[in-house]
Amino acid sequence: MARRGNSIIKGLDINDIITRLNKAYADEWLAYYQYFIEAKVVKGIMKDAAIAELDQHAADELRHANLVSDRILQLGGTPLLNPKDWFTHTNCGYEEPKDFDVVSILEDSIKGEQCAISVYSDLADLTRDKDIVTYDIVSQILADEVEHEEDLQALHDDITEFITDIKKNIN
Ligand SMILES: [Fe+2]
Ligand SMILES: [Fe+2]
């Protein structure tokens, strides 16, 4: 635990920050697995572009899990030790892919990113000017999640537009 490092935290309960970071940590692992498995099972038009995006997101979520767990340890906490705990601590849950069509997979993922944006935005609001180190980490992650949502939405819109064009040409 970083004693001097933690002494600079102002007006916040460190245990509360640890609890919230552990919830975000659970989200990151579930998001990692969601992207991992979506990239394996996705089907349909322009699926190669979707796979590249999903794989990239999986790598980013795993990197986020790393950042968040390192901060939990610095604060004197313990990152969740058992994957079973991911489901009881998660904010955003897990969207099991039921329909493997690329459009439906992208829609599930967009929902997950929107939840992540709310979680990190709340964490940034909580820590701003009070716990600068956590604030810095959650802000970096927030910027990634905003980019993730945008990338998925852009791909989703390209694919649905492409499908509409094909249908028009057939008729
Ligand atoms: Fe993430
Ligand atoms: Fe993300």
**pLDDT tens-digit map of 148-163:** 999 999 999 999 999 9
57 pLDDT band, cuts 50/70/90, is very high
CATH fold of 13-170 = Ferritin (1.20.1260)
Q: How far apart are CA 20 and CA 137, in angstroms?
A: 13
Nearest ligand (C-alpha, residue 140) = 1
Q: Say how many Å lie between the CA of residue 61 and the centre of ligand 1.
A: 4
Cβ atoms of 110 and 52 closer than 8 Å: no
Which CA distances in Å does 15 have to 7, 10, 48, 69, 113?
Answer: 13, 13, 43, 14, 26
pLDDT at residue number 107: 97
Q: How far apart are CA 131 and CA 37, in angstroms?
A: 35
Cβ neighbours around 91 below 10 Å, total: 15
Tell me the sheet residues that pair with 43: 101
20 pLDDT more than 90: yes
Average pLDDT, integer, range 44-61: 97
Nearest ligand (C-alpha, residue 149) = 2
Q: How far apart are CA 125 and CA 168, in angstroms?
A: 47
Reading the block at residue 27, the tokens are 């989200």
pLDDT at residue number 163: 92
**Cα-to-chain-centroid distance, residue 9:** 25
Helix (H) or strand (E) holding 8: none
Map out the domains of the chain as residue ranges.
13-170
Question: Whole-prediction pTM value?
Answer: 0.95
19 pLDDT more than 90: yes
> Tens of pLDDT along 28-49?
999 999 999 999 999 999 999 9
Q: Say how many Å lie between the CA of residue 91 and the centre of ligand 2.
A: 13
Cβ atoms of 45 and 102 closer than 8 Å: yes
Q: Say how many Å lie between the CA of residue 44 and the centre of ligand 2.
A: 22
171 pLDDT more than 80: no
Q: Say how many Å lie between the CA of residue 96 and the centre of ligand 1.
A: 17
> Tens of pLDDT along 61-113?
999 999 999 999 999 999 999 999 999 999 999 999 999 999 999 999 999 99
